[in-house]
Amino acid sequence: MVLFGRLNPINAKVSVLLDKPTFLEGENITGRVAVDSDESVKVDEIRLEVRITETYLATRVVYDRYGAHPTTVRETKTIHSENVRVSPGFDMPKGFKDEFPFSIALPPVRPTMPNGVIERKIKGVVAVKGRPDKVHETTVNVSYVPAGAGVPAPTQVMVKEVIKVPCKYCGALIPVESQRCPNCGAKFTR
């Protein structure tokens, strides 16, 4: 019976809990890996597996007995991949329940292919030697910050010199480019 138990992941619940539903590009992704175990085991580590992928449509040539035919296929490429240790190994008793906080920086990524879609995933992993990992994966929503957003646009101050002359009828000062006196309405001639 022990042999078959080693073919299964540990009897525990693992959850990746993000601190907010959407993060801004360039902002650290923060959250917790929650572990609730119903089994006593020696944990090698608790880690995050961070993956950023781009999925896009590509045209490929398929060869068959009738010749070459272009076809559209969905392809995925990995743009960023890293493992982040959240906790070193420890003896986890039955009934163990705890949360392990994390803060990771994801690189800013834009699609490189036409109609490419970027997907960011974080997988929480409880690793136990000789047994399959117990995992939970979640998608990270990132909102792009438009260029210049949040930063006030530079302002340009124009200084214009206004020369004023007295109206010959009422004496009020009026700009030299005016055609009428704003005080008495007299027509202004230069």
Q: What is the pLDDT of residues 78-136, one digit of tens each?
A: 999 999 999 999 999 999 999 999 999 999 998 988 889 999 999 999 999 999 999 99
pTM of this structure = 0.69
Q: Are 106 and 120 in contact (CB under 8 A)?
A: yes
- Domain ranges within the chain, ordered by starting residue: 2-143, 162-190
- Specify whether domain 2-143 bears CATH 3.30.1300.10: no
Tokens of 186: 């007299």
The C-alpha R_g of the chain, in whole angstroms, comes to 33
Q: What are the E-state strand segments in the chain?
A: 12-18, 22-24, 29-37, 41-64, 67-92, 97-104, 117-127, 134-143, 164-166, 173-175
The whole-angstrom separation of Cα 56 and Cα 114 is 7
Q: What is the pLDDT of residues 25-72, one digit of tens each?
A: 889 999 999 999 999 999 999 999 999 999 999 988 988 898 998 999
